[in-house]
Amino acid sequence: MDLYIVRHAIAFDPDPTHWPDDRDRPLTDDGKKRFRAAAQGLGALLGSKAVQTLLSSPWVRAWQTAEILEHEAGWPAPVRCEALEGGRSPAEVLKALQPYPTSKAVGLVGHEPSLHELASYLLTADTTHLQMELRKGAVALIELPEVRPGTGRIRMLLQPKVLRAIS
């Protein structure tokens, strides 16, 4: 399985007066604009058929990011995945991946620090052994021959600035 791990794009800062529930915090207009360009670059780099399944945190900012991937990169419509909500464990994400064949490419849209912990878990079987910077809108590709910890190989890490330059 090729696993494309995508951190949500730039969102508004937490503000309980506007969004009492942080799950409702959306992307900024600039965040949407920048990520549209990044998603176009990703589509140009990989082609529109690179991902067969797109799983996303249902939190607003992640879901909006997934919708941009659908419209700008040609990825499939997102599927709600609670395991990608902020604060969830990598083991929960692996459990959510079990129904998908290892021959498929799956996109995941979620939140930090959960995503870099997931990457570390997939690559080293531990959530803390690998530190990587996933900026907002960044994409990491991990080749996962088996859906279990420690079996992954990192194939690509692209920050959003690079993706925008490709578009």
Give the model's pLDDT for residue 95. 96
pLDDT at 19: 97
* Cβ pair 108, 3 in contact under 8 A: yes
Condensed to tens digits (0 to 9), the pLDDT of residues 45-65 reads: 998 888 999 999 999 999 999
| Lookup: tokens for 13 | 């800062």
Determine the pLDDT at residue 101: 76
Prediction pTM value: 0.96
pLDDT beneath 50: ranges in the chain: none
> Strands 53-56, 78-80: parallel, antiparallel or unpaired by DSSP?
parallel
Q: What is the pLDDT of residues 88-116, one digit of tens each?
A: 999 999 999 999 877 689 999 999 999 99
Closest CA to 79 of 46, 117, 106: 106
**Distance separating alpha carbons of residues 100 and 87, to the nearest angstrom:** 23
Architecture field, domain 2-10+23-166: 3-Layer(aba) Sandwich (3.40)
Residue 76 contacts by C-beta under 8 Å, 6 or more apart in sequence? Answer: 51, 52, 53, 54, 70
The full set of domain ranges for the chain reads 2-10+23-166
pLDDT at site 90: 97
Average pLDDT, the chain: 96
**pLDDT for the residue 34:** 98
Amino acid 93: pLDDT: 97
Per-residue confidence (pLDDT) for residue 49, from 0 to 100 = 83
